[in-house]
């Protein structure tokens, strides 16, 4: 579910767009009124009015053009993000590119970079993410940090993954995801107590995701709850997890059975 932070950002965006088009409307109305009163003015004032009317018209056209390009870019970027979260990476990549065709912006570049990274175009993805950071004067968005960090996590590259995930954890939208991955890393380093400390606020939450289930089952095993751990591991193995988590659950189940025998 979207967080409160996401709703706040959406409201800010809607307000900014509303103000932009309201200002455009005011300039259009001003230009129309200037043109309409031009025939009624005496000769001495017509030139000044004509200049003002022409300036207001050009200004309205310029603002209108850039406003539409900006809005179209935002729209394609939004639908690109929706496609990304629906795991339609090729569609998301195309939509982010459409956004960039209307206006070069860091968010669409970052989304494109993440899609390239996760579709196996690693070099292009990293270059595109670097371009997005350059547009933000060296800063990455939490979205980019999280999904780039998660990519490196799945590549077993904790050296690159950890700082990126730490950066993403500053956003409420990614704190839960980062916590689970950090708990997995602590378990990989044979530090179940540190993993349990990270997961402490969430230990009573319903287990619905593979990474969460892996952490909870591993913690139960560390606490000697072998039957509970085995049951949870078996349940998620039957839910057709990704190959990454399937391999981890199988190793965990083997450890549990070894300790039970």
What would the pLDDT profile of 166-214 be if each residue is shown by its tens digit? 999 999 889 999 999 999 999 999 999 999 999 999 988 899 999 999 9
Instruction: Give me the phi and psi of 218, to 5 degrees please.
Output: -65, -40
pLDDT tens-digit series, residues 203-242: 888 999 999 999 999 999 999 999 999 999 999 998 888 9
Average pLDDT across the chain, whole number = 91
Give the separation between CA 173 and CA 177, rounded to whole angstroms: 8
Q: Collect all residues with Cβ–Cβ distance below 8 Å to 80 and sequence separation of at least 6.
A: 92, 93, 94, 95, 96, 98, 99, 108, 111
Structure tokens at 24: 């455009």
Give the separation between CA 115 and CA 151, rounded to whole angstroms: 11
Q: Is 44 buried (19+), middle (13-18) or exposed (0-12) by CB count in 10 A?
A: exposed
pTM of structure? 0.84
Instruction: Note whether 109 and 135 are within 8 A (CB).
Output: yes
Structure tokens at 74: 């935002």
Instruction: Note whether 110 and 100 are within 8 A (CB).
Output: no
> What is the pLDDT averaged over residues 81-104?
95
């Amino acid at each position: 579910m979207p967080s409160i932070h996401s709703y706040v950002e959406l409201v800010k965006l809607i307000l900014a767009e509303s103000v932009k088009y309201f200002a455009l409307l005011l300039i259009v109305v001003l230009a129309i009124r200037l043109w309409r009163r031009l025939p009624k003015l005496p000769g001495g004032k017509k030139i000044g009015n004509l200049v003002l009317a022409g300036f207001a018209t050009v200004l309205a056209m310029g603002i209108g053009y850039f406003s539409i390009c900006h809005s179209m870019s935002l729209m394609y970027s939004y639908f690109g993000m929706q496609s990304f979260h629906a795991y339609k990476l090729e569609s998301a990549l195309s939509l982010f590119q459409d956004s960039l065709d209307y206006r070069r912006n860091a968010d669409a570049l970052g989304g494109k970079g993440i899609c390239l990274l996760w579709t196996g175009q690693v070099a292009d993805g990293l270059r595109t993410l670097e371009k997005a950071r350059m547009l933000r004067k060296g800063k990455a968005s939490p979205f980019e940090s999280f999904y780039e960090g998660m990519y490196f996590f799945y590549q077993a590259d904790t050296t690159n993954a950890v700082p990126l995930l730490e950066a993403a954890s500053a956003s409420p939208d990614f704190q839960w995801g980062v916590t689970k991955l950090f708990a997995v890393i602590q378990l990989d380093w044979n530090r179940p107590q540190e993993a349990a400390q990270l997961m402490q606020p969430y230990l009573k939450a319903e287990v619905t995701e593979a990474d969460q289930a892996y952490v909870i089952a591993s913690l139960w095993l560390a606490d000697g709850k072998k039957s509970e751990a085995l049951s949870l591991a078996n349940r998620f193995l039957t839910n057709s997890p990704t190959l990454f988590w399937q391999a981890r659950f199988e190793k965990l189940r083997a450890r549990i059975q070894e300790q039970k025998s």
